[in-house]
Structure 1
Amino acid sequence: MVIYNVTSNMSQSLEAEWLEWTREHIAQVLGTGLFMDARLTKVLVEEEDSSSTYSIQYKASSRESLDLYYEKYAPSLRKLAYDKFGETVLSFRTELEVIDEYRVHPNLN
């Protein structure tokens, strides 16, 4: 399993607009059928410039699924983001390989 992580930073003045747009964008990415699920999180760190940082994690079942996403969908979806926000939102992408997953049994709480 591979996690495709997109971390984005923007001024607080763009945060609400970016979040609204991003929720639709996540639906488009999941609509490719190449990811199992996605998680939108806020990075809990106080930036010196008072900006906001978010992370979106898309879970792919295989490296092949992620590569297919890069080949067929990523360029046009990234262009939509750039056309909307230009360089006012800075994003970087990382790939994470899932080694193990652990869950708490529901009856243990």
Structure 2
Amino acid sequence: MIIYNVTVNIDNSVADEWLQWMQEVHIPDVMKTGFFLHNQISRMIDEIDNGGVTYAVQYKCRNLEDLEEYQNEHADAIQSRHDARYANQYVTFSSTLEIVASDVERTEQAG
């Protein structure tokens, strides 16, 4: 499994409206492409005050091929709507992660 992570720092003046728009419009548009199985938004809670709020938007997909197909066929159009709406009010970077373990349980060490 692959996680496509998009970290966004959005200006405080539009942060609440951005979060609502992401949940009601942007993420549903991404999910409608059919390439992702799951999504989540996390907010950074220990950041320094920089005039914005930082979120990690994560999408889980089956494999790199699905992610690449999404990026080649859909990402530009979806991203351009985000850019048009929030131009000059955010900074972002993305990363791709491979899940190597999931739901690992803590066990007591004998000794």
Secondary structure, counterpart of 2:50 in structure 1: coil
Gaps of 5+ in 1: 105-109
Figure out how many residues of one structure are paired with residues of the other and give that number.
104
Secondary structure, counterpart of 1:8 in structure 2: strand
Instruction: Give the ranges of 4+ consecutive aligned residues of structure 1 lying more than 4 Å apart after TM superposition.
Output: none
Secondary structure, counterpart of 1:73 in structure 2: helix
**Structure 1 vs Structure 2 CA RMSD:** 1.2
Aligned to 1:6: 6
> Which has the greater radius of gyration?
2
Residue 98 (str. 1) matches residue 95 (str. 2) = no
Aligned to 1:107: none
TM-score (norm 2): 0.88
Give distance in 2, aligned partners of 1:12 and 1:31.
Answer: 29
Query: Quick check: 32-41 or 6-15, which moved more?
Result: 6-15
Give distance in 2, aligned partners of 1:103 and 1:25.
Answer: 31
5 Å-filtered alignment, 1:2-81, equals: 2-23=2-23, 24-81=25-82
Gaps of 5+ in 2: 106-111
Give distance in 1, aligned partners of 2:41 and 2:50.
Answer: 22
Aligned to 2:108: none
Query: Structure 1 vs Structure 2: percent identity of aligned residues?
Result: 30
Q: Which amino acid aligns with 1:59?
A: K
TM-score (norm 1): 0.89
Residue 103 of structure 1: how far off its partner (Å): 5.4
